[in-house]
Amino acid sequence: MPIRRRGTQARRHPARRADLSAGRHEPFERLVERALDRLPASVRRLLENVAIVIEDEPDRQQRREQGLAPDETLYGLYEGTPVVEYGADWVPFPNKITLFRLPLEEDFPDPDELAKEVRRTVIHELAHHAGFGDDRLHDFGLD
């Protein structure tokens, strides 16, 4: 079941968009790698059966399946079967977390804010893989 983390700040506030031509940002892949490396070992074990994918932005099908309005986008998307569901280890396709680079870079122009938001999005999507729903993530401040 796909579960997402929405992002709309840059679309609502075009003045907040990052100037990506300035080269201030660390390569996005490095930010994701660092976020994953800094997870506690007990949490990193959840990644054994999860593909981490970086895409520029959600494709038309993902946008349609998530019911996104034209001014909405996604920061991340979990697709798969949470590990707490019976038979999760029998699923014939891999679990996948997709991180969407352009919406994150546009909404978080400050490099430190971007790094924090990448980490937050990784944790949010990984929590879905662990079986946490959006209501529970809201309780943890990870919505």
CATH number at residue 12: 3.30.2010.20
Q: What percentage of the chain has pLDDT greater than the value 90?
A: 44
d(CA 14, CA 37): 32
In the predicted model, is pLDDT for residue 13 greater than 60?
Answer: no
pTM of model > 0.85: no
More confident residue, 17 or 45: 45
Domain that holds residue 125: 3-139
Residue 118, CA atoms < 13 Å, CB-side half-sphere: 30
d(CA 143, CA 140): 8
Number of domains forming the structure of the chain: 1
Residue 87, CA atoms < 13 Å, CB-side half-sphere: 4
pLDDT of res. 3: 46
